Chains A and B, each alone.
Chain A
Amino acid sequence: MTIVGPIENYRTVGVWFEDYGKQWAGRAEDLSSRLDILRRFCEFVGKDPDAIIQECLRSSEGQTKISIRGRRFYDEKIREFQGGVEGDARLKVHWGNTIRSFLIHNGIFLQSGVQLG
């Protein structure tokens, strides 16, 4: 699935921006500079942002829950994506954590573990 139109028009990108802004109130950075990283990740996995979040969720007895399988899949994909970034360790971490931030602020609980460059 390819990205149709501007990536910031996707609902989950809006949720990311809004929740990030709320959480880091007064200290939030401009995420628009990170949209290109998200776009590249979407290309990497062949999914649009909404589809990525959707795959990390599942419905059970009328409740939305995190899909362990989906989260695990994207956790691995982020590591793979991060590992393929051309640049130093700091840059790799920045790219990987940008995607993690997108997932986290969409309610997908995820941890990166310590990544000492």
Chain B
Amino acid sequence: MEFKEVIGRRRSIRFFQPYRPVEREKIQIILEAARLASCSVNATFLRAIVVERDKLPRETLDALKTPVSATNLEMAPVHIYFYGDMGTVPRAKGQTLRQLVDVGALSPSHGWSHQFVENMVWPAILQPLYGNPATAGVPVAFDCGVAVCQALLAAFDEGLGACLSAFNIGIAKKVFNVPDDWLAIFALLVGYPAESWEAGGQRPRPPFEELYFEGGYGTPFVRDENVVSKLREARMIQAPAPLPWRWDEIRALARAFGLPE
């Protein structure tokens, strides 16, 4: 699938074929996509615990549910529990940044040197920022979000459906033996969609000009309709929800899976 279409087809899929397993290869591809994501100071914060739903004891699966995620966790055959490892930078002590200098990703052309990393960046910036959980949480969570997004898009590129979901972090910590300094992010629920791939159409979004500005806040970045047309052709922009048959689809799915209306 072309990149733009992958973005266009992504939806939060909430109806999975609960009986259809996901190929291990596809799960690996999802994780490989996450590993290559952009990350500040080259610190790969994201950690994942992959769980096959059917390998969980029933009581554990039930305990992992939150009120809003119960049905999703039950339907998706694969759960990928994502965490941010808050200890990544403190443990590396600047090493991940030095690696970037070593491989020429950061170079003197842009002012970077080993001396700068050793004597300035690590002690004056990284150590205080990432050594304190109160300040580290935001950058760690942001980077994890970037990586999880790549994982999410990779799932759709593989013909799967996926949805980010909350989970009971206390239970997960115990059951999956999660280290104390891992920050719970979200679970990516993965499976083959039971709903159509359109899943009712592209979700409502605020108008473009309300979100993005040019030169400063208050001056909208003007949307070029020719570009919009090109993106429609490329299937990045698709028919908006609700498609006319969406409610019939939900009713059919609800009845097939014994869900309330």
Contacts and interface: CB of A to CB of B under 8 A. Distances in A.
B71 A112 contact: yes
A101 B247 contact: no
A117 B260 contact: no
Contact of B70 (A24, A101, A104, A113): A113
Contact of B257 (A20, A71, A100, A114): A114
Interface in B210-259: 247-248, 251, 257-259
A interface, size bucket: 20 to 34
A117 B18 CA distance: 14
A24 B242 CA distance: 12
B74 interface: yes
A86 B67 CA distance: 29
B68 interface: yes
Nearest to A103: B260
B247 A114 contact: no
Contact of A71 (B18, B67, B260, B261): B67
Contact of B68 (A25, A93, A109, A113): A109
A93 B75 CA distance: 17
Contacts of B71: 111-114
A115 B257 contact: yes
Contacts of B261: 20, 24, 97, 101
Interface in B73-120: 74-75
Nearest to B62: A113
A97 B260 contact: yes
A101 B18 contact: no
Contacts of B18: 114, 116
Residue among B70, B247, B261 with the most chain A CB within 10 A? B261
Contact of A117 (B68, B74, B258): B258
Given A71-B67, A109-B67, A109-B68, A115 B247 contact: no
Contact of A97 (B67, B70, B247, B259): B259
B258 A112 contact: yes
A113 B248 CA distance: 20
Contact of B75 (A20, A97, A100, A114): A114
A112 B251 CA distance: 15
A27 B246 CA distance: 11
A3 interface: no
A29 B247 CA distance: 13
Nearest to B258: A115
Interface in A75-111: 93, 97, 100-101, 104, 109-111
Given A100-B260, A114-B18, A115-B259, A24 B67 contact: no
B67 A114 contact: no
Contacts of A115: 257-259
B4 to A, nearest CB: 33
Residue among B67, B247, B248, B260 with the most chain A CB within 10 A? B260
Given A100-B260, A111-B259, A116-B258, 19 more contacts: A24-B251, A27-B247, A71-B67, A97-B259, A97-B260, A101-B260, A104-B260, A109-B67, A111-B70, A111-B71, A112-B259, A113-B71, A113-B74, A114-B18, A114-B75, A114-B257, A114-B258, A115-B257, A115-B259
Per CB-CB distance, the 5 closest pairs between chain A and chain B, nearest first, are: A115-B258, A100-B260, A97-B260, A111-B70, A93-B258
7 contacts: A27-B248, A71-B67, A104-B260, A110-B260, A111-B71, A114-B18, A114-B258
